[in-house]
Amino acid sequence: MDQSKIRNVAIIAHVDHGKTTLVNQLLKQCGTFHEGEEIVDRVMDSDNLERERGITILSKNTSVMYKGYRVNIVDTPGHADFGGQVERVLGTVDGVLLVVDAFEGPMAQTRFVTKKALELGLTPIIVVNKIDRDGCNPLLALDKVFDLFCELDATEEQLDFDRVFGSGRKGICRAELEDPDGDFSILMDKIIERIPAPKGDPNAEPLLQIASLEYSSFLGRLAVGRVQQGVFKPNQTYAQAFPDGTVKNVRPQKLLRYEGLTPKPIEEAGPGEIILIAGLDYFDIGDTLSSTNNPVHLPRIHIDPPTISMLFTVNTSPLAGKYGGKFMTGNQLQERLERAHMADPALLVEKAEGASTFKVSGRGILHLTILVENMRRELYEFTIGSPQVIFQKDESGKLLEPVEDFKVEVPNEFSGACIQEIQQRKGEMVNMTTDENDRVSLEFIVPSRGLIGIRPKLLSLSKGYAVTQSFFKEYQPYKGEIPSRINGVLIAKEPGEAASYALSNLEDRGYLIIGPGAEVYPGMIVGEHNRDVDITVNVTKGKHLTNMRSKSADDMIQLTPYRRMTLEECVTFINEDECIEVTPEVLRIRKTELDPIKRKQMSKKPAEDDD
């Protein structure tokens, strides 16, 4: 195809600002859907977890034809934990659509993805979305975007950005705010006019770098990349360059290109085309395909280092295998984690001390828990430890830790309690503003350790009003000890089923995280104690039966509803000597060491060492 008729564009934004809904409108505008076809909301969110949570986790490609131009669109995640996905795919495009909520303006993660795009010299078009929201101020949001571009050292050309105003949900778009409602042909025209055509000599030797991957049930793993120069054809021999510097000759069986939402086979692809390659035995993101006469090693795609790690190990619980687990061995766990790293290089997997124990590092807790949730659904059963921040050392040997920019918006009456909580976690306030609605915007620099479990705490302190956002800033000197969970836990003493009678007697000791009938074993955690010590309790004890009857004794036992904890809540709840038993059907929190005598010995060791 004539490369002057190709446009490659990525859609970037803060989470929940309407990227994927906007893609739906662009697909509709270009006639991708047949007449009468049922159109699913957020059609690009194909993964079950993405649909359930309403967030984009994996970057995805689509392609539309508009007025004789082929527009390749990449939908990217908005959450900073999945920034590795964004960093990889921005190298395959020439411009970005920066989507900004007309009510909220640019947020913390808008800054993160915009910084990456501007550094690569990409041409931006601003889409001020959700102009139908009550109380929104689209022009103020646009001014804030300009200020953000100035802060991020945008070039003169990037500061002279084009913009549109619209609502992805209603399918309306305007070139100017006061214009009557139009459709998204306004935005498509601006993409063709403002985004540059791809460069690259079609007569040069072929060159492509693998930027992401997809999976087909018919063709297996597919490498996705943009042709930088030359022409690629199926069943031709190319040189594949690996990270260790070795080169291997490969012969792709098929080349595919997106036509709408479906990849279709093609006979050749020239510069600027984003293609899928089938038939490579082994490949990783960052590998280079080039001519066999002159193999090329392009620099590996730079991805920011991970900041949080967790230990994954085989399940050693007495109930292992009873709740739907199909893949439980160390080899199966290792093979699945290695596959996760190949699909997402921002996830690092290393062998750790101990049998079948692996240290998995990622960008944040959400990044790691999405992996855990996917593995649960694939019937894997395993154990995960508490999240640990990854420390580094500078040249002088001084300990460094990751810190994050953390922003909170709360009503004024709750700001004092929130400030106190964040400062206890070594947060330093750098800015504080109050708007006309008496909402306070607080900005802190907080160690990543201090942010573990902070969101539910702030929601509790602010009666659900706190809006939080954060993104990784840099490594700074170690800030000192941060208190973890203060309260102790209630630990099951006997195996069996939890009884209502026993649970009702424990309600004044703290809150419970299991209900009656739940199967328990010694060492399993059944609740949080309201004091700062762990206690062992018998939750299987039933009421002794006698031949005496009384109305009060015969009344049904009324239990306070127990706290049903999500995976993220479990991860932020546990301390270092605790872990989570992950099975397809249930999650259980337990002590890492189930034997109470060994637990007591381990708790005394540090004190003996001090003597």
Q: What is the band of 103 on the pLDDT scale with cuts at 50, 70, 90?
A: confident
Q: What's the pLDDT score for residue 383? A: 94
Q: What's the pLDDT score for residue 30? A: 66
Pick the residue with more confidence: 42 or 142? Answer: 142
Mean pLDDT of the chain: 82
Percent of the chain residues past pLDDT 70, beyond the cut: 88
What value does the mean pLDDT take over residues 218-227?
Answer: 84
Q: What's the pLDDT score for residue 611? A: 41
Distance between CA atoms of residues 6 and 9, nearest Å:
10
From residue 75, alpha-carbon distances to 12, 95, 451, 493, 560 in Å are 7, 13, 28, 51, 44
Q: What is the band of 580 on the pLDDT scale with cuts at 50, 70, 90?
A: very high
Give the lowest-confidence range in 83-87, 132-136, 457-461: 83-87
Residue 58 has pLDDT above 60, yes or no: no
Which single residue is written with the structure tokens 């999240």? 387
Q: What's the pLDDT score for residue 82? A: 61
Q: What's the pLDDT score for residue 29? A: 67
Amino acid identity of 222?
A: L
Record the tokens describing residue 27, joined without a space. 């697909």
Task: List all residues 6 or more positions away from 152 whose beta carbon is below 8 Å from its beta carbon.
Answer: 111, 114, 115, 118
CB 326 within 8 A of CB 376: no
Amino acid identity of 490?
A: L
CATH 3.30.70.240 placement within the chain: 393-477
Task: Indicate the fold that domain 3-194 takes in CATH.
Answer: Rossmann fold (3.40.50)
Q: Give the residue from 30, 57, 34 showing the smallest Cα distance to 42.
A: 57
Q: What is the band of 1 on the pLDDT scale with cuts at 50, 70, 90?
A: low
3-state helix, strand, coil in the chain (%, to 5): 25, 30, 40
Q: What's the pLDDT score for residue 17? A: 65
CB 273 within 8 A of CB 227: yes
Percent of the chain residues past pLDDT 90, beyond the cut: 9
Q: What is the band of 33 on the pLDDT scale with cuts at 50, 70, 90?
A: very low
Q: What is the band of 521 on the pLDDT scale with cuts at 50, 70, 90?
A: very high
Q: Give the residue from 249, 220, 247, 251 showing the smallest Cα distance to 234.
A: 251
Give the model confidence (pLDDT) of 428-443 as tens digits.
998 888 877 788 888 8
Q: What's the pLDDT score for residue 408? A: 87
Residue 597 has pLDDT above 90, yes or no: no
Q: What's the pLDDT score for residue 49? A: 52
CATH 2.40.30.10 placement within the chain: 207-290
482: DSSP letter: -
What is the CATH code for 393-477? 3.30.70.240
CATH 3.40.50.300 placement within the chain: 3-194
What value does the mean pLDDT take over residues 200-220?
Answer: 82
Residue 50 has pLDDT above 60, yes or no: no
Give the model confidence (pLDDT) of 251-309 as tens digits.
888 898 888 777 888 898 888 888 889 888 888 778 889 888 888 888 877 777 788 89
Task: List all residues 6 or more positions away from 374 whose beta carbon is below 8 Å from its beta carbon.
Answer: 49
Q: What's the pLDDT score for residue 556? A: 67
Q: What's the pLDDT score for residue 583? A: 92
What value does the mean pLDDT take over residues 407-417?
Answer: 87
Distance between CA atoms of residues 92 and 31, nearest Å:
24
Rounded to the nearest 10 degrees, the angle between the axes of helix 185-194 and helix 19-29 is: 90
What is the CATH code for 207-290? 2.40.30.10
Give the model confidence (pLDDT) of 313-360 as tens digits.
999 999 988 888 898 898 999 999 988 887 777 788 999 887 789 999
Distance between CA atoms of residues 167 and 103, nearest Å:
12
Residue 111 has pLDDT above 80, yes or no: no
Amino acid identity of 501?
A: Y
Record the tokens describing residue 507, joined without a space. 């309600």
Distance between CA atoms of residues 56 and 13, nearest Å:
11
| Run of H or E including 288 | strand 288-290
Whole-model pTM: value is 0.75
CB 141 within 8 A of CB 133: no
Residue 367 has pLDDT above 80, yes or no: yes
Distance between CA atoms of residues 611 and 603, nearest Å:
15
Give the model confidence (pLDDT) of 487-517 as tens digits.
889 999 999 998 888 888 888 888 898 888 8
Pick the residue with more confidence: 560 or 176? Answer: 176
Q: Give the residue from 327, 333, 344 showing the smallest Cα distance to 378.
A: 327
